[in-house]
Structures are given as C-alpha cells and as structure tokens.
Amino acid sequence: MTGRTAVPEVIWVRPERAGRGPRAAHSRADIAAVAVRIADADGLDAVSMRHVATELGCGTMSLYNYVPRKEDLYELMVDAISGEHEPWEPTGDWRADMLRVAHQTRALMHRHPWLPRLMSPVYGFSPNALRYLEHCLVCLDPLDASYGTKMELIAMLNGVVTTYVGNELATAERTRSLPWSAEQEQAMRIAYLGSRIATGAYPRMAAAFAQDAGPIDLEAVFERALGRVLDAFEPKG
C-alpha cells in the first residue's frame, strides 16, 4: 500500500519537474493537454499515468517526476479547462453577467463531459480557476454584498450547473445504451405512469399532471433554476 506523505502538497508550488538531470522535456500544459485529449475521446476512466506517459512518449516513472499523483493530474486537467472560460468586460448588470457565466460553464461541460465528475472545491484555486473566480467577482461588483456572500453565490450557481449538466450527460449516455429510441421509452413510461395515476392512489400526482401534462421544457427549467439562485441573493428592501 502506498504511504501518504506527512505534509500535504499543492502541485502549483512544486517545480515543473522534480529531481536532477536535464531540463524538463514536458510542461504541465503539455501533460494536461494530453490527459484532456484522452478524457475527451475515451472518458475519464481512460486517463491513467501509464496512458498519459505513452502518449507523451516517456516512461511512466518519468511522468511521476512531473506529476507525483493521479490526483495532481486531475488538478492539471481541471485547471486546463478552467482556462477555456472566456472573460469579457462586465456590463454592470450582475445578474446578466452571472447568467452568461453559467451558460458558458454549461457549454464547457458539454465539450468535456468528464468534467462534472471532477468538480470539487479542492481544485478551485489553481491558476486558471483563480482567474475565473476573479472575473466572477468583478462581474459581481455591482451587487451590494460581502465577498463571502458573493463566493457563496458563485459556488451555488456552479453547483446548479454541474448537477443539471451531470443529469443531461447521464440521460444521454443511458439513451445511447438502449436498444430502442428515447421517444419509444418515453411513450412507454408515460403510459405506465398514466396507468398508476388512474388507480386513484396518487390524487396529488393526478392533480399535478392534470394541471400540467407536459412535455417539460428542460431549457426553461434550467433558466428558472439559475434565476432562483440569483433571486436568493438580490438585496432586500
């Protein structure tokens, strides 16, 4: 069993390459780019130190001179994707700007479907993540609230986006694995649900479906979820 070091380490305070010898042959950006490419093509589970080393053309043990742990590799990957956030000049409307941030994050997660699995506060303070957070705080300058409250808003908004996109991706993955179409399954499940409601055992569910039989506008649900988070931070009075 691999032992833990006595002192925790943050990869960003380590030199680009540990140990003696020639100058580093690979940058952290090179390593992250390879790992991201593997994850985009084959999923996060395909990312291993051996696989990344092979793609880089170096030995697995050599890679450990640059990235001591797989968790550090994940952190490099999250930082690389954080760098894809495109900052803009804030409009002065903090709600509109934060909605734009949320939509950009959603699009980014769809470009890199493995990303929701790695969304963690642990990886939230890498160089590109810090630039992202600073941009969000600039967007929130017009909001009369403490910085602690603003950070909470950013975290809650990211949480909503991550959860929503995670569900979208899981649904799409499940649909791809089915031997029938999504429309066929939906029709079957609606028929089953209707038969259960018709028994009279679920009067409130029956009332709910009578009030709004659907279909559900998932884009509208996403917008409402974002809006409700932002509503909670609107100054009162």
Cα-flanking dihedrals φ and ψ of residue 116, to 5°? Answer: -55, -30
Structure confidence at residue 20 (pLDDT): 57
Cα-flanking dihedrals φ and ψ of residue 212, to 5°? Answer: -150, 100
Print pLDDT tens along the chain (237 aa): 444 556 778 888 888 766 555 555 789 999 999 999 999 999 999 999 999 999 999 999 989 989 999 999 999 999 999 999 999 999 999 999 999 999 999 999 999 999 999 987 777 789 999 999 999 999 999 999 999 999 999 999 999 999 999 999 998 888 888 888 888 888 898 899 999 999 999 999 999 988 887 778 889 999 999 999 999 999 986
Structure confidence at residue 217 (pLDDT): 87
Structure confidence at residue 105 (pLDDT): 97
Render the burial of 183-220: b for 16+ CB within 10 Å, e for the rest: eeeeeeeeeeeeeebeeeeeeeebeeeeeeeeeeeeee
Structure confidence at residue 24 (pLDDT): 58
CB atoms within 10 A of CB 94: 23
Structure confidence at residue 23 (pLDDT): 54
Q: What is the DSSP secondary structure assignment for residue 198, as one 8-state letter? A: T
Cis before 68? omega within 30: no
Q: Are 64 and 56 in contact (CB under 8 A)?
A: no
Structure tokens at 5: 């070091």
Q: Are 115 and 78 in contact (CB under 8 A)?
A: yes
